[in-house]
Each structure stands twice: as structure tokens, then as C-alpha cells.
Structure 1
């Protein structure tokens, strides 16, 4: 699947699938007898069935290979914790530059919109990351922390006043979006338009679309272009009159004689919205439902918010794993796990399945259990380490902890109602909506 920043436009109207039969999880793919991760219908199977399929793949002596009809190629599925960590921390072997999503972003899209940092390798990735890291000054981070508390408080105020029914739209999506816009220095006026553009650009990430809905050619890219145009305009203004916000810091930062160009600024903002808003929104939504579905864990948390909150945040991220997979491309032949290990050839693709790594029985005892006391908890919910480890991991943890504390302190009876409305996807663990009450 593709992120909004890297989606290529369709060349013709494409009718939605008419509801093909869901395959038997034991049906053969190119990996032999077993699940076929390249079949979009696999991602429509119940979560328990998919979890069992990944457990079976983890027991195999080597990564399974899956062919993709659309590209005529395929990928090796890295499903063990150790393998995902190795691929993440060996960037000279496992390249991101060709593209970490599927299909790979078209060259003209990358030229027009700029490269997202997730699709870059050293030295350019390191240079851009230094520019961004330099912009996150202690003063800016201090203001962000204040903003997180202020926005979380205001959202819970509004929940008490208006009693909304959908937790995703009213709370989980609003917190990271408002925090990022405030941090970047996006004025209030264009925020509503930007949020609508974010929704439009990411509308087709899932593997299933509603019946009879037509995909509009270039719809996602048109939304992306408008969004980046708004941000580029703000960037030009900040170059003339800097303010105390992240856009000003990014457009005036000077690292090795380099500053962010307008396209780079737009690409970074898009990455922030996808990585910062979508993932935190989904983690928060899964978190409320998990704490509702496991009342004994909820009781533990409410009994000691100060002592249990950090553990609850990490366990929510591990158990839900908001990003399911990213891809890498082999730069050279490589024996996975060391000499004598499975041989991966130069030019081949691998898919890093973070959700499977987070259920690895050799690392996490009783991995399917939701346990906020789990320690240690070396989950890969923010990546497997290395140069592409999530820049916003600290902010995401902070947002989740602050909002959960605010909710359970002021509305201790808050809980989800019914099952979440999930979007079948091989890219992210998205919740479309989640009814809740208090």
C-alpha cells in the first residue's frame, strides 16, 4: 500500500472491487503452502486469523517470498523481531532510496513533490535529518509540551460539553493534528482546509473501497499539491519575517550551507501529517478500545496512573502497531542473521512487518496478550532503530500519555462502545471510527 505522499495517480477511473470471496488463509501463494501476504484479500481476514498466519511464517527457517502480479516482482517477508531490527540498522545493505512503499513512488512524483525522508539514503537523508533535528531547539520543545497539555485539556472540555459519539474524529485525530499545526506555525484559518486535504489524500490507503465508488485520477496528488502549496506560502513568509515556530526554524536553519527548499519543506510537512497524525490517531483509538476490552488492565492503570502510564503507552503501541510494514531494497547480496543465514540477493525487496515482529514469541512472552505491566518491552512500533527511527517517537508518546491522563482523570468511566470500524490495509492499522461514551 502507499502513503498519501507517495501515491501515483490512476490513469483511468477504477471501479471498486465487487466483494471477491475472502481466500482461505491456508491457500497457496508463491511462498508455497500458507498465507499469501501479497493478496489484498489476506488483509480482510479477521485479526486472529492473520496473527496465526504470521506466527506460522515466523516458524519457517527462512523468510517467505511472495510474488506480486501487479509488478511482476515480489518481496521477502521479514517477520521476526531480529530480522526487522537487522534490516533497520544496516542501511548500507537495506536501502530506502528506491521507495519504502508499494508501488514505489514514480520518478516524476518525486521530482514534483520532493522526496520524503523515508525514501532517502545517506548522505542526503543524514543531511536533511540534521537540518530538522537542529530546528527542534529546547525552547521549541518546551512550547510543544505546553501545547500538548493545553490542546488535550481543551479537547476533553469539548467532550464534556458536546458529548460526541466518534472518538476518532472528535479526539484522537484532533490532538496530533492541532499539535503539529501549532508546532509548525500553521495559522488557524487554513487548518480546516488542510485537515480536509489530509483526509482526501489518504482516502484510498486501504485495500478495500466502498462498492461503486470510483477512484478519481490524481485525486490524492491534487490534494497533496494544494496542501504543500499552503505550506510553501507560509514558508516564504517566514523567510521574510521569521516567527517562533518550526517552519521558521526549518527555512532559516543552516547546516553545512543547506536550508530546506520549498519542496523539501512541503515533503517534510506531509511526512509529519502522515507519520504524526495518522499513526498517533490510530494508536490512541486502539488504546481506548484495548483498555475497554481488557477491564483488568484498565483497573491497573486507573489504580496507579503515575506508575503505569508509560507502560500502557508502550503496550498500546506494541499491540496495535499503527504502521504494519515498510519496504527495503538489497544493495548487495546479504546473508540474513550472519554467515550461513538465508541469502538475499542484490536488487531484491524485503518487507519489514513490524506487527509480526511485535508478536515474536522469542522476544515477547504471551505476545497476543495486552499487558501494560510488560517489561522489558522492546517493541518496534516506531521502527527497528537505525537512521530511519521515527523522529516523532517522543512526541507521540507524550501526546498519548497526556491525553490518557486527562481522560482517565476527568472522565474515569470513558470507554469505547462496540467494535472499532477498521479499514482493511496492508500498510497501516487504521480505525475509521470508534463510538465511545463516558
Structure 2
């Protein structure tokens, strides 16, 4: 019996191991290019319909045409939310031009290779620091000791957030991207818990903005507060929204790419050996393959701005199109042997950082660097690291924005810290 598209809206679909989930996506991908999925809208307590796109060509076409498929009605949620909430939690991801272009242009000035040079050096230092903290233990939860703290520490240091506030940021981001997991939300947590998490980040950033106004430093917050061009200044609310976006999206996606990557190498020891035999040469293609196969960002949504055709499928104005990146990244029309994990795969035009177009991930360069450095250091310092149990998935309550792994037990021969001095 063929799998029904409604299966996508069931929490149990997302609690499956990655391979099982993608095998079902493969079935759905062949049922048609645009699949109606009935979903329960918890805000209105009504049944709504969204449209799943699982083929590469359609995901790319919608991504490249923001005038036909907008983000301003919500890109990070299946349902239409109040604009204030959309912009607070998603920043310019949930905006259309000209506002999207204006804010992205300002922030992009700080994400050029030149501006990121210091941050890229920081990646090396923090990776050493984080591995030093657990390398003597021999058996750990990889998420707790590496995948979780590493990218978030980089973001906090980059923005100038004090280390003393790290747990505040961690707890808030776990709630925001926890997909309703009771471990992070509590048994009776709801929208109030989400707003509370967002406000804790807003309070933290508001205080930092005021501090940087009076005492500028060289961190990213200072650069945004003291922009040289007055017409390009972001408001405090816009800076806060950007921080929430960076702390959530820039953290959780890299976190899961690292975790999935370690698990994929454990399940594909031949690929692990290919990479380990030539770390500098294989790293660029291996990082792209981890992002393709894992596709940590589950979806983004676009809304049709008019009645139109997507291929040979009629789309109505207001239809909510859900772009499933993981399914598109395994489309056999584009990728040869798409279900195989191949660290040498070329070409590899995946959409793991979003489809082509104005919303392509601004932090892709930094994310690639983070993943590359982590695996280089793991190969060098913990060469026999292996997975010691099944990944524990995020218990999302519906379709999650990020298909996360909460825990991944690993073991290795203990080694001595090397320090950063």
C-alpha cells in the first residue's frame, strides 16, 4: 500500500532513523511533484492544507522566483503567524524585498571572507577548547560535549555574548527549535514557552546593544551598532532579531550536520577510510556530502503570490508550498545513486543550505568551515572514535524545522588535552 502524503504531518514520521524517513520520502517523490498534506493548525484548531515539494527541480524553481513564491507570509512555519512573531524569530528569512534585501545587505557586509577572517581563526581555537574538555573521558554523548557547544560558542563569541550567558542561549535555542519536544518544552509547554525563550534572548541582546553603544569592541554586535553609513543602521529590534536567527539557525543546523556526519561515517566505514586517508583533499567534497545526505534543515515554506503553473501542476494564489530539502537532495533525476553516502561525490549541487535565490544561507561559508575543522580535529585527535548506540531523535510534535538528534553515544581511546597556548 503506497504511503499517504498525510504521513508527513505525523510526528512518528520524523522520529524514524534518517534512512527509513528518506526511504518513505522516495516513495512520496514518485507520487507527484506537488502533494497536498492535511495538517492541524494548533493556533486556529482547524484543518489546513500545505503542499509538499519533494523534487529537486520544483524546489529550485520556487526558490529562484521570490516574486511568484514569497517568504513574507512565513518561511519557517507551516501556518500564517503574526508578523511580529515571524520577524522576531526568523528575521529577514521571513521577509520579501525590499526589506529582505536591505537587511541582508547590511548583515552580509560582516559575512565577507575578509570580515570573517577573525571568526574563522576562532573556529580553530574553540574546536580545540571543546575537544580538550572531553578527550580524556573515553565515552560521551557527542551532542552534549561537541555538536551542541561548538557552534553555539562560536556564535556567542562572534556576537560578544559573555560565556556566563552561554546556558541562557543554549536553553532558549533548544526550546525554539525543539519542535515541541517535551524534554525542552515541559509536558505542558506551549506557545508561551516559545515566547519566553525568545524574550530571554531579546533581553540579553538588548543589554549588550546598550553596552556596545557606550563601549564599542570589535565583535559583530558593535559592527552592527556602529555602522559607518547612517542610512544602513539596523534598529535595536532588527539587531535582536538577527541575533535570534543566528543563535537558532546558525547553531542548530551545524550541530546536526556534525552529529549526522559522525553517524554516517560510522555506518559507512569505507567512506571514513577514504576521508581519513586524505583529509585535506577530501574534506571539501565530504562536507558537502554530509550536508546533502543529512539535510538538517527539513523545510522552508513559500506562499504562491498568484494563480500559476509549477511545471504541469496548477497552483492557486495563497497555496503554501513546503520545500522538503532532504527529499530534493536525494532526487535520482539529479543525483546518481542518491541514497549512497559518497565523500568524493562531484558534482554535488545540493540544496542543503537552501535553494538557489535570494534566501540562500548567508552563513554557509562559516558552517562549511565549522564542519571541516571538527572532522579534521576528530581524525587527528580521536582517530578511533565510533558510535556506541543508536541516535536519539528529537521528539518533535509535527513537522520540525530541523530534524535533530538529541543524543549520540560515542566511544574512543582517551587522549590528553593539548590546550590553545
| TM-score (ref. length: structure 1) | 0.86
Q: How far apart, CA to CA, are the structure 2 residues paired with 1:209 and 1:148?
A: 29
Match in the other structure for 2:94: 119
Matches within 5 A, 1:17-166: 26=2, 28=4, 36-45=7-16, 47-70=18-41, 71-100=46-75, 101-110=77-86, 113=88, 116-136=91-111, 139-163=114-138, 165-166=140-141
The answer to whether the 8 A contact 2:15-2:393 is kept is: no
The alpha-carbon distance between structure 1 residues 377 and 272, as it changes in their structure 2 partners (threshold 3 A), is same
Match in the other structure for 2:234: 260
Q: Is 1:222 aligned to 2:196, yes or no? A: yes
Matches within 5 A, 1:164-179: 165-179=140-154
Residue 252 of structure 2 aligns to a residue whose secondary structure is: helix
2:288 paired residue among 310, 314, 325: 314
Q: How far apart, CA to CA, are the structure 1 residues paired with 2:13 and 2:112?
A: 44
Shift of 1:36: 3.2
The answer to whether the 8 A contact 2:303-2:318 is kept is: yes
Match in the other structure for 1:8: none
Backbone CA RMSD of aligned residues: 2.3
The answer to whether the 8 A contact 2:300-2:323 is kept is: yes
For structure 1, which segment, 239-248 or 122-131, has the greater mean C-alpha deviation from structure 2 after superposition? Answer: 239-248
Matches within 5 A, 1:189-200: 189-200=164-175
Gaps of 5+ in 2: 413-421
Kindly indicate which of the two structures has a greater share of residues assigned to helix.
Answer: 2
Residue 379 of structure 1 aligns to a residue whose secondary structure is: coil
Provide, for residues 190-227 of structure 1, a one-character-per-residue CA deviation record: whole Å limited to 9, x for no partner. 22322233234444445x77999222561121121011
Match in the other structure for 1:334: 308
Provide, for residues 370-397 of structure 1, a one-character-per-residue CA deviation record: whole Å limited to 9, x for no partner. 1111111111110011111001101000
Q: Is 1:436 aligned to 2:410, yes or no? A: yes
Q: How far apart, CA to CA, are the structure 2 residues paired with 1:173 and 1:418?
A: 18
Shift of 1:162: 3.9
Q: How far apart, CA to CA, are the structure 2 residues paired with 1:352 and 1:372?
A: 25
Matches within 5 A, 1:231-380: 231-253=205-227, 257-337=231-311, 341-380=312-351
Residue 190 of structure 1 aligns to a residue whose secondary structure is: helix
Q: Is 1:393 aligned to 2:364, yes or no? A: yes
Paired residues in the alignment total: 404
Provide, for residues 345-385 of structure 1, a one-character-per-residue CA deviation record: whole Å limited to 9, x for no partner. 11111000000001100111111111111111111110011
The alpha-carbon distance between structure 1 residues 377 and 205, as it changes in their structure 2 partners (threshold 3 A), is farther
For structure 1, which segment, 95-104 or 316-325, has the greater mean C-alpha deviation from structure 2 after superposition? Answer: 95-104
Match in the other structure for 2:163: 188
The alpha-carbon distance between structure 1 residues 316 and 226, as it changes in their structure 2 partners (threshold 3 A), is same
Q: How far apart, CA to CA, are the structure 2 residues paired with 1:330 and 1:86?
A: 12
Shift of 1:336: 1.2
Q: How far apart, CA to CA, are the structure 1 residues paired with 2:185 and 2:234?
A: 42
Shift of 1:255: 5.2
Gaps of 5+ in 1: 1-24, 29-33
